[in-house]
Amino acid sequence: MTTDPTVNTTPAEEPEPEPVPNLVVRPPVPPMLAKPVKAMPSQDGNLFYEPKWDGFRCIIFRDGDEVYLGSRKERPFTRYFPEIVEAAKAELPDKVVIDGEIVLPRGSQLDFDALQQRIHPAKSRVKLLSEETPAQFIAFDLLAVGEESLMEAPFAERRARLVELFTKEGGSIRLTPVTTDDGQAREWFEAFEGAGLDGIIVKPGDQPYVPDKRTMFKVKHERTADVVVCGYREHKSGPIVGSLLLGLYGDDGRLHHVGVAASFPMARRAELVEELRPLVADLGEHPWGHWAEAAQANVGQPAAGPSRGGQRVPGAVSRWNAKKDLSFIPLRPERVMEVAYDQMEGDRFRHTAHFRRWRPDRTPESCTYEQLERPVSYNLDDILAH
């Protein structure tokens, strides 16, 4: 993940051992991946196009009452999504392995912020969140059913077999739509973003399921924005720039943390330290200094969220790595850079932004949220009805 979500530091309860279903395809299985391409591949008679869902990649392994939710990094999701476990028992065949995405719908759109909050150490909190913000599973590949492995079968066959499993509408486990019409895929690419989706996945119909290999293609949105450089975090390898902290001004006139840029070669990271040295500021005079000082003074206390009094600031503790040091070197907010980004998640960049160029012609105060494009809203249920 590229965000800095914070986590409640309630002591973690001892997790129960994860069940490992005795299936013909057993966990862990790292999912098959997609490599990015700039343009939508045209139909060559063998391509399938799917919406790219914005959630947690997950493979469901079900063997009767035993259900295992495998993640991309082979860290099981089973304990965090008990409602998906129960849905798998109620809605899927007795023995099955299905690849897909855990998503969290809120109204007509996906809510990735709420989905991140589902990763919590306390079992009682997990249970409460599963009832207050239940997730769904979007299925898009079939790896095994019954005693038959489909790993070597071509995707066209796997998709046809997957469709056969979804004979009823609704439920918490849904089937992703697919088209073989590249024109339809281009329409989806533009329209579905309004429901929180972030592109199109293109799958060759003759390919087997190849774990952990980028044999598919993904087309994602890319836009640009001018942002203020507000600080940097050091790289794990030493005192060089790891990531630049980016800011935008809101209607309230305050500078909000909007994300990070980290797409720099190692040699360039060292050069940036020297280039930015004249801008290093005293923390107490920095727009985010009040938060950072408070965080340092409360080491060992429960971490607060990434917003202080309506101002978005860098998070305090990473939800994915509680030991990760998220302190930063403050810079006077004077330099502007243009970055490329794919989509927004609320008021921040969903993924790491990519440096495009410095903008000495822009003033920091001109870098506001007003410049950002907002996709036209689209109803999530309409996507699943295709």
Per-position DSSP letters for 106-161, written without gaps between them: ETTEE-HHHHHTT--S-HHHHHHHHHHS--EEEEEEEEEETTEE-TTS-HHHHHHH
Q: How far apart are CA 259 and CA 261, in angstroms?
A: 7
52 is an active site residue? yes
Catalytic residue among 52, 95, 203, 220: 52
Sign of the CA dihedral running 115, 118, 120, 125: positive
Cα–Cα distances in angstroms (integers) from residue 230 to residues 1, 58, 100, 312, in the given order: 21, 35, 37, 13
Residues 6+ apart with CB under 8 A from 214: 33, 34, 35
Q: How far apart are CA 27 and CA 295, in angstroms?
A: 40
Q: How far apart are CA 184 and CA 188, in angstroms?
A: 6
For residues 263, 264, 266 and 272, what is the CA-based torsion angle, rounded to 10 degrees? -140
- At 246, which helix (H) or strand (E)? strand 241-249
Amino acid at 212: D
DSSP summary character for residue 237: T
CB atoms within 10 A of CB 117: 20
Q: How far apart are CA 386 and CA 178, in angstroms?
A: 8
Q: How far apart are CA 175 and CA 162, in angstroms?
A: 8
**Catalytic residue positions?**
52
